[in-house]
A and B are shown apart, each in its own frame.
Chain A
């Protein structure tokens, strides 16, 4: 839990980026040439520039192996650099932890590696790895935990046994759990310093419910409740071969590697997998929610509701709708709110889709306090126009070209191909999902976009969260509707206030 990273804090150069909000964004996908921006005319000299056919490209697919105990292995040879990287994805993550111990999986992800094994404590492992410029790391995520390693290929036979030792024989230590707890406590104490972060958290809580696996927050008390025994029991419960996917990429021979992995993992015994978590949500209560933050001169505004799942047959039409609405500089919301009105630097969002639960539909904008209401109205207008203004022929073509012509970037490196296959396998999606996606997008018509906009976009079901400086917000938010204040005061730790200044 590193709260402040160098890249985001000090050395960050000023960026022209449209900083899209962090949500489940549909992938930009694409291939095929031929699409030209505009009909060739003298006024458009760029449209006469030849675009040859893209050379045939059939990248190597990873080799898939399934052991009798259910463990799945993907091997992706990549001989460009002399490294071997590996990762073990383990089913079960933050959404599966008990509510009263929210934070358990994050603590586990940190303390697992820093504690080490009976043979080698974490600090010594740090020394050994860093001396080789190698890494073994663990982490806790929403749906899974991960153990990964990376080394020069010549060090593989030293590093891999240490990684499997950590997988199979960890010894969780009290001091490392405490260290992880202090990192998370720091994050909690600082979570109200950023307006954007507050807005993002409130979106999850209001859309999924503050007690749901996708909306709940880590608090001092829930972190405090986690014990060493909890980490050990989580480990024993989740590290079972039928819940794990092992993937390797790098400079190795697949046949030899397969033999090594079979030796390492064939002896593991099957176990039970976590039960699926709650998957039905009603979405946010419509209305305006407000968090006061009096040290800012810019409001963070999110208009939001629930999105969909990636196995929805309407995914392709929704993807094209997203492109038209917010996919880059030419999209409607950027053209209007940023370029035409000059009301924001950061504006964007999408109708999001997650693999196995509804994603979020979020449109966010950062605008000076005084223009909070006009900017919010501009965003709401653009959302409304998705239903009232069908895409023009140019808009549809541009959006589809954008997806299809950049499709190659979904698989232009062996690692991207491997990651895609692992993700699809983890969520039980067909392995040709990407190709189906491309074909699906190619077939989308203007009528399809209009149909899905009518089916999925309902402004009356959306909520609005504003984090800003109330005194400066003129006209007042009440012009948008009834405002519900949200108290984001951080509940103090069980033993007393955290901020002992």
Chain B
């Protein structure tokens, strides 16, 4: 176990001397084996031949995430991600025609129950119970047509590994790897769930998602803190809402809303599918066109109008509870298209990367107040204006306030003195190394191709980003630091340890918020 973990960690570390690309791994080589095809329905396919072993990996990127959750239905994008494993009109059912009728009755029954449940005045408990009973009966009827988990089971039985998906603020992605002789089977499954998903077992899956929320947020000290941190930092943009959703909203969301979300955001024009591995593009592309081309088209969803307004003054969240102390702060910054994007990456690298990093050397090695301290260039996403965040984990006996003071000293240094030539060169060298290392496996490559194709409309930007990295100067770092790392642009959150109360079960965390503008 140890051995595997250790080597696994090594593979994630990138290496390359500045400027020296292997001949086989430059843009020209990828041009020869990479094909982009935009289908008539708008879906983008990116195919990259990498015949190292008879396997392939895919990465389906839907350009909609939790930031697109409708008001009052937080967690819907994530809920839909779970539902994408429930099958299609062909997979997961014993009789879709009959199931469809039964599922419509479930929605009608839920809607009736929901109206009564939400009544602020005059809710009738007897009627509510009756409506709940009708709903439960409708669910049971629909359930009788379900072949549970058949979609995943077909994939697993055919050798799929790493079957998973994730929902972030910016996008939702689906991925696995398979033996290369299952490529057509995969195309059938994947195009089916994009084009014809069925919202079966929706209300039970809601319970599963609530458990996910309890695990990640409610029962985790840092999960609770991050939720409060983001809620304080954003007043308008949906980055303020947790991707998993609020408990009350997850418990009320329904399958009709999930279908509407799918209809709006899972249109082919909003989706990029990247496939990397052992296949011939000439013979594979027609097969993929046949399956993915059959997905009904729809209008590309409109872009979000909300832009987070300028912050007026520092905001602070203090959580006092019987868990260990923690400190995080963030500063608003523009989205990834900003000309200074690589400068933020440079600062994060300088602050965080390895034992030469400034935060490590200052807070961990020299001051001995922190076990770990890191900067993150874009939190919680990067599609929309987000934050440059820094966190620090205090050593026993040290406080969040000490973390804050030490971090601010590092920001002051960045603002008052140019970084060294060696530091800048190190950032550039490592950025190239990380890129190159990422090219050596199907999974990582599929992810990168899909992401760059989505963000820039051209996967080649994966390679061209190095030009932006190379262009970063010492003056840029100082300029951006002075622009961004200012008090009025800051939000911070901390956990302050307080001794546990003697009464069991009463130590509910208490969050307080101060500041927040005019």
Contact = CB atoms under 8 A, between A and B. Distances in A.
Given A10-B379, A81-B22, A408 B389 contact: no
A343 to B, nearest CB: 7
Contacts of B218: 296-298
A134 B161 contact: no
Contacts of A196: 215
A422 interface: yes
B16 A133 contact: yes
Interface stretch (A13-21, A259-267, A437-445): A13-21
Interface stretch (A164-172, A228-236, A277-285, A466-474): A466-474
Interface string B418-440: 00001001100110110011011
Contacts of A53: 181
Interface string A152-195: 10110000000000000000000000110011011101100111
Contacts of A13: 166-168, 243
A317 B24 CA distance: 44
A433 interface: no
Given A182-B395, A408-B179, A501-B497, A413 B53 contact: yes
Nearest to B399: A501
A333 to B, nearest CB: 12
A57 B17 CA distance: 33
A405 B159 contact: yes
Interface stretch (B119-127, B182-190, B474-482): B182-190
7 contacts: A132-B17, A134-B15, A328-B163, A354-B1, A402-B156, A472-B505, A499-B497
Given A152-B16, A194-B220, 6 more contacts: A10-B379, A24-B1, A83-B437, A89-B3, A329-B152, A413-B441
Contacts of A133: 14-17, 426, 429-430, 432-433
A14 B216 contact: yes
B222 interface: yes
A45 B25 CA distance: 40
A297 B215 CA distance: 8
B219 A195 contact: yes
Contacts of B181: 33, 51-55
A143 interface: yes
A2 interface: yes
B158 interface: yes
Given A3-B371, A298-B219, A499-B396, A419 B4 contact: yes
Interface in B148-179: 148-149, 152-154, 156-161, 163-168, 177, 179
Given A3-B372, A46-B189, A342 B204 contact: yes
A205 interface: no
A42 to B, nearest CB: 11
Interface string A402-425: 101111110111010001001100
B383 to A, nearest CB: 13
A242 B422 CA distance: 41
A15 B165 CA distance: 6
A278 B7 CA distance: 27
A393 interface: no
Nearest to B5: A141
Q: How large is the interface on A (under 10, 10 to 19, 20 to 34, 35 or more residues)?
A: 35 or more
B158 A405 contact: yes
A87 to B, nearest CB: 7
Q: How large is the interface on B (under 10, 10 to 19, 20 to 34, 35 or more residues)?
A: 35 or more
Residue in B207, B371, B439 whose Cβ sees the most chain A Cβ within 10 Å: B371
B76 to A, nearest CB: 12
A33 B165 CA distance: 26
A148 to B, nearest CB: 6
B163 A329 contact: yes
B356 A130 contact: yes
B211 interface: yes
A77 interface: no
Contact of B376 (A10, A292, A339, A409): A10
Contacts of A408: 53-55, 159, 179
Given A80-B24, A189-B324, A366 B211 contact: yes
Nearest to A355: B1
Given A10-B391, A182-B395, A409-B55, A346 B211 contact: yes
A127 B420 CA distance: 13
Contacts of B471: none
Contacts, number: 344
B69 interface: no
Interface in B468-501: 496-500
A339 B179 contact: no
Contacts of B154: 37, 46
Interface string A115-153: 000000001001100111111010101111010101110
A50 interface: yes
A480 interface: no
Interface string B453-466: 00000000000000
Interface in A327-364: 327-330, 334-335, 338-346, 354
Given A51-B181, A193-B221, A501-B399, A141 B6 contact: yes
Contacts of A334: 149
Interface string B356-375: 10000000110010011010
Nearest to A189: B396
A405 B157 contact: yes
B208 A345 contact: yes
B430 A130 contact: yes
A9 interface: yes
Contact of B164 (A16, A83, A193, A330): A16
Nearest to B244: A14
B504 interface: yes
A28 B10 contact: no
A141 B54 CA distance: 34
B81 A415 contact: no
B355 interface: yes
B429 A193 contact: no
Contacts of B66: 14
A341 B143 CA distance: 12
A415 B15 contact: no
B313 interface: no
A47 B168 CA distance: 34
B219 A471 contact: no
Nearest to A79: B24
Contacts of A141: 2-3, 6
A82 interface: yes
B391 A16 contact: no
Contact of B2 (A93, A186, A296, A344): A93
B372 A412 contact: no
A332 B22 CA distance: 48
